[in-house]
Structure 1
Amino acid sequence: MPWKQPIIGNRTVAILGAGVLGRRIACVWAAGGYNVAIRDPSADQRTSAINFIDNNIASFYKTFGNTNIKLGQYNTYEDLASAVKDAWFVIEAVPEKLDLKISTFAELAAKAPKDCIMGSNSSSFKSRLMVGKLNDEEKKRVLNVHYTMPPVRVTEFMTSTFTDPAIFPFLEEKHREVGLLPATARRESTGFIINRLWAAMKRETLMILAEGVTDPKEIDELFVELFGAKTGPCAAMDGVGLDTVALIEENYIKERGLPSYPVDWLRKNYVSQGKIGAKSGKGGLYPAGYTTKKDVVSQYDNLAAPTLYVLDIGVGENVTSNFFSSGKIYAASANGNNVRKLVDNLPFPDGIGISLSQGRMFWSNMGSPAVNDGTIESAKLDGSDRKVIVPAGVAHTPKQLTIDHVNEKIYFADREGMRVHRLNFDGSGHEILVQTGDFNNPVEKSDQARHCVGITVDPKHGKFYWTQKGASKAGQGRIFRANINTLAGATAVTRSDIELLLENLPEPIDLEIDPDTEILYWTDRGEYPVGNSVNRTYVGSGRDSEVSAAPKFDILTRHLHEAIGISLDNVNKHIYFVDMGGSVYRSDLDGHNKTVIFSGKNAFTGLALTHN
């Protein structure tokens, strides 16, 4: 039966796999005006994919030159049937495991429309190897279609040996429509065209490294200088993922009888130790964070960089009306670009946390500091479906907010309320964990040494931490911790497990902890030279339990302008922090390489991040 072009209309392009590459393929098609369905069994991956498209579709729209069309719609699905039921084109981007791809195509053939074109994004497995469970008519609609990490435009097609030849000019036309540059291999070939060239570079690079001839940095420097490339092969492999590189290379080894020692070396020295590149948190051929760049040069930069969510209290603008409700929430990429306003008209927002499992953000509104009217709100990550989960009158002046992802709890500090609170994501199960005073008592309420401001939680070790800042620039600041599980019979006022960690600090504000290293980080708004800084100290079991008059901690960076929000990027080993002067900063965990990634007429307070 001759192949007939599918009627597209409002039908979808379906992407199977919401990972680094899958979500970028989806973003290209949505930016090109096509409706997109993304299937992934992981709820976190589905949320991250939508979040990535929300934050990047505008830049993809400009990059691919699709300024005369309307953006397509995009949704995610857990099950395959729902994702492909209306598809005219499906691209599988599942891991490079042949048995998984075979079972995926068998299920796809049974559940997708009978005119749907089915493509595999694999560059190392021929699609001929994936169609053993399909009938002859189904095999005609299967091919390899490989995307080179959008926004790179190169896309390659290749027959499965069964593919109807009329499919290729049809798909080439559709890919050109969305701004891609398609090319069709004239015969079946493991690796297509570009990937065979790339495979040769990878293979020889790994041989050079395995033989100890030189190191990754020198290879890349020479490569970029000689060929005028934007990045070298080592940085590119880190961006792709060394685990993926190993899987692809092993397929070439089996098919062509190539030597295995370069991949054996890679697995022994990197993959087996979890050092699989930018996405791992342990680095790869380069240290963690190497690919995170302010000025993006290549498609491999910022693949593992976070999306930032920043609270602007609103006082930095020339507000002439609604001064007490001019706060906003912005999302931005880690290099300060793709800034989007998500929520506005907030009454002095201060703290923010993100739950990818819930697909929601949570933030605190201080309200008027003189009045008991603070609130906690929630919304989807695009700012829609806004809800109040802690109404006015329950918390006085909510400040930093943090999330215990293990136990699915929200913690927040309450400044003039002199309390630490905990609750469920929907606002139920509200508890007062710590109470340092009674806000109905004017003497206690005016005592700023009682005010709770910063909060962080370490579920791994069963602890939460908070700051009591003291009067402005007064050197009265303290940092405390207590157990997540309150002792039987204890109350927020009487609990005996509260431990004083540091005192006589200039003015400690927000906190973050790395549970793996048990290092506590915080911002301080006190006087120079110690204040207006980012600091850290070890709080694990080996610490000196004695609290001295001269606190022991490291000052990582100074000269901030009323520093407040702080967030750790444990994937790239970076600290992000903001100040009321309107700047967003990034530094290494030791404070080195401080970079201003955004600066404007704002007054930033809270900060949270997610990895897409």
Structure 2
Amino acid sequence: MVWSAPHIGSRPIAILGGGVLGRRIACSFVAGGFNVHIRDPSPQARSDALAYIDENKEAYTFFICPEGGGNKKKPAQYGNYTASKDMETAVKDAWLVIEAVPEKLELKIDTFGELDKYAPRDCILASNSSSFKSSLMLNKVVSSDADERKKWVCNVHYTMPPTIRTVELMTDGHTHQEIFPFLSEVLKQCGMLPATARKESTGFIFNRLWAAVKREILTILAEEVSDAAEIDALWAHMFQASILPCQLMDRVGLDTVAFIEDNYINERKLDGSLTVDWLRKNYITQGKLGLKTPEQGGLYPPSAAPAQSASPKIPPIFVLDVGHGANSPSYPSLAGTSTYGKILRFDGPNQPPKALVTGLPAPDGIDVDPSANRMYWTNMGADVTAADGSVMSATLDGTDKKVLLADGVLTTPKQLILVKDSEKGTEKLYFCDREGCSVHRCNVDGTEHEVLVQNANPGRGVSDPMHWCVGITVDLAKRKFYWTQKGPSKSNAGRILRANMDFLPGETATGRSDIEVVLNKLPEPIDLDMESETGVLYWTDRGEHPRGSSLNCARVDDEKKEVKILARHFNEPIGLKLDLERKQIFVSDLGGSVYAVDVETGKKTVVHRDEGAYTGLVTLPEA
């Protein structure tokens, strides 16, 4: 029989199970504009699932709406969603059912038996199981057209949206092949990242890779070659990862780790003596399950658990996505990316960012003023050779947008900072203009615009990157401002300079005698920040390894001005913001990552990572 896609219309997607994963699956479809019916026998689970969707559906739209147009668009409205305890009610008109019931094979077999009885004949029946092939769940699919029904069955395995958006699809051995591209398109509409296993396979694709890693780690531990902390430390350094394998096994629960591995052992006739047998003998039977049993511990001993689970305290972070990443609607083409920029707000390491302002022409520098409830930022514009850059402001929720400087005034404005000068009684925005080869300041409403440094005629510096001005910071105590001139890409010709905040009598931006070169022969310095009390200057450098792609500092009033590399191996780092009260520095890079860097140890913790391209960032101070 030739497969025809089910008619969707207002028909719902039925999600069986309103638990931690089921509610997330449901929320992703609601955000994508699909109607959803959750079935769970527990009143509390149903209530919690609906509350989760109420609170999180807006956040899920971030992934389905790369702003600026293209083929991906935010749905006209959210899908409707409801919940019930009755199976027949939930699935009777569904076009897709995804079971997310507990990982017990007999329960799943019973579930598919009920679906065979109650679901429409043109309904796709899917299992979210990561441990069992859907073909193992069909013992009670015995209707008169059971053979055809089995062709509508498959695995649709979610990991943990919205943090991890991968969804793996897999046949039951009979599935109509046309179902997979059809479901893949639906999942993409919901901001998910689908992948299809080419044939039926226990563990799909990624779980097989992950199972191999876990298996080898358990063997290393059983043979007493190393311990959990050392393995995780090596993993973190090698892969620049914040999700570490031994910590993750403790978080999931060692009993669950053993249960999943049992499936591989039984199917492949593997030797479990140095994996699950060792794990059960030394941990599980002794009640050491990981975070489920904090007093007994797990692969990490109880005394180490608090330190291992601790993470940097993260204040709200405003980050600029320049719009050139793989999350662009036109990717891999660069067409139209000049208006795909956005301002994002991050409120925690496990929460999706919220888009505050969208449709921006390559935003780069940002600062905030909580007391005025406003943020200020620069846009580089669409053409680096044209004077189409701008400075804008808005309230902290992204409303009341205002253009402060535009219309041929700036070329490619870069880092921007707000300076409240109590001595002068002023509030000024300081910023650099890269291809404009200049440093500027103006009032927070855009008035009293001044050029502080002009290295070349505006628009003529494109051919000489030695004149390009990029990052800026101010030392109010000594009334100096610092800026970077990055030089040609990866050239080791970058410089950091400084000058007085106030012009010397009779001097102008084109002929200042007070300009000092503080540091030179740097790989490619970008943004700046400063701790005025100690005279320590911090900067990002997107130059070549080993000195570039780094976070650096130097005490600028010391005679030697020795440069210290605090952290390395970023992916084109741009923005930074000091949080010295907590002894950390936040860094953003064009590779789509935001990091918290420990000032004392240089340890990098990934706060967020996706397919964006991040430029400037700033933290929101605590009230």
Structure 1 length normalisation: TM-score? 0.50
Structure 2 length normalisation: TM-score? 0.49
Tell me which structure has the larger Cα radius of gyration. Answer: 2
